[in-house]
Structure 1
Amino acid sequence: MKEISDTLAPSKRSAAKNIYAAFKILKGAGGEMSGKQVIDTIRETVELTEWEKEIYEKTGYVRWESILHFYTIDCIKAGYLRKNKGIWYLTKEGEKAISLGPVKLLDTATKMYKNWAADKDDKSKKEISTSSEVPELEKNKTQSQKANLDHLEEQAISGIKDYIKSKNAYEFQDMVAALLRAMKYYTPFISPKGKDGGLDIIAYIDPLGATSPRLKVQVKHRPDSSVPVDDIRSLTGLLNKDGDIGLFVTSGHFTSESERTARESHRHIRLLDIDDFISLWQEFYPKLTDEDKNMLPLHPVYFLGSNE
């Protein structure tokens, strides 16, 4: 990593170092990765000072992680980074910004954020101005709040993924069937153990399956891998009736070739990866039966949000 001047305030030095590392990690991962994985990778590969490893008494968060989350807001406003449901995405602009080096990258993002805030509200401009070594995250309450909410969301999504990962293939299959029922589908066929003929669930929008669309569902519990294109082609071959729609659900992700094949298929095929599944489970959770809720129980907690 490029050298960072010791004359910088500790918080600024930590932010520059770790934001730069996060961008490099995301680039190496193809541009996207869960926030938790980014944090874990930084912890394993970046040299952190004892000061950075200290815990904030007020929040219970590790100092460097709080600083990193705080400054990712600058990067988002600068168009370098996007976040959605615990996943971090490096934009093309963010990838180009890596060439600026740690300090200039951060300075550019911060300047762009300040310009945005100043245009939005003159009060915000005064609030985020800095002239001392007090960390910015102790000055800008709105930005700190947004960073903390992002941190909490990432922790929540990570916990849900770990819970799903701990289940076996048939338990995950049952979760998928439960979600479909919450979406007002009938599930007359859920594959028992053993050979299933390539299909794990068949779902209808009426009890007799006489009305289109009819879903033919394949479920793969592969939390640590991506579904290859051959699996998508196999499902396509099973869509042999008018009104058949293929649905492929995985507890992991899909390869880019799999996604492209599904998009270009002459048959309607919908892919749901773990992030899509969790998002839909959250959306339809109130419509699940109590028994189905117990497969993946959630507890909603409401925090004060931000207007930004």
Structure 2
Amino acid sequence: MLILKQLILGLLLPAVVGGGIFIFAKSLAWKKESEQKKARLSGWLVAVALSAGYTVGYTGLEGLPPFPPREGVHWLCYLSIIGLISGAFWHSSRWGRLIVQIALSIVIPRLLLNSAFKYTWGQFEGIIWWMCLAVAVFIFWHIVQESFTILPAGGSSPFVYFGLSGGTALVLAVSGSLRLAQHAGILVAIFAASWVITFVRQRSDNNKWQVFPLGASPVVALLLLGIWMNGYFYEEVPAASAILLAIALFLAPVGRIEKIQRLGARRSAIVQICVIALPVVIAIGIAVARSGLFGESSSY
């Protein structure tokens, strides 16, 4: 009964809620005449779909998050809300967006890793970690934002993020963190729903459209980063696996290489997705080897 409850609350319900809002977002956005208004409305509503879907899944698994959060995982729900609020103003000002990115990149590592700053690291070591993580958060957030335009229109974006979150869930599961794996599973369900919806609508409309507007990038980036940081610093996720998951999206620009583009739209998209998937697959393999499922564990 417990497993059935987790499947319903952690997978099915987030997919239904997120998918329903996603359908509404795209249907409403395409009815608008103004391209600027369309981008803003679609971006915010897609962010709502992602944030609401994750919040529903989080509440189903964890209950209402405490305030102030007592653990790093408790911040995940708040990160989805912060991402939603940020997405609402994402098209208002370029400088405002940059300031928000810098501020959150600095604040989020300190909030998520509060216990590590207090009890594990010394003052100097903590400052070094803080600076490095702030830079990493900012860069990854930018890469997520760029991936929405670099990845081919249509189902490629949700499929890539479905694979990335699925790989994250597998790495966490074999590393012994089933709790965090369930949170990654929420993202798997939401991205799977958005991919299926995009695939069906794409076939019916015979037209490819951009799935994730830039306004949805804060929710996606903050949730993935929150899960990864919790997994590495508080659980037993191998460092190599965490790094490989984080750098997978850095390979998205491979689709812009001239020789790849000459293969044609479909083949170049397949190559691009396969290249992004490669570090995710390696990350899973390292986590499996480290777990000792098929023999003695190795350290990475």
More helix by share: 2
TM bucket normalised to smaller: under 0.3
Report the TM-score, using the length of structure 2 for normalisation.
Answer: 0.26
The structure whose Rg is larger is 1
More strand by share: 1
Higher relative contact order, chain-length normalized (CA < 8 Å, sep 6+): 2
Report the TM-score, using the length of structure 1 for normalisation.
Answer: 0.25
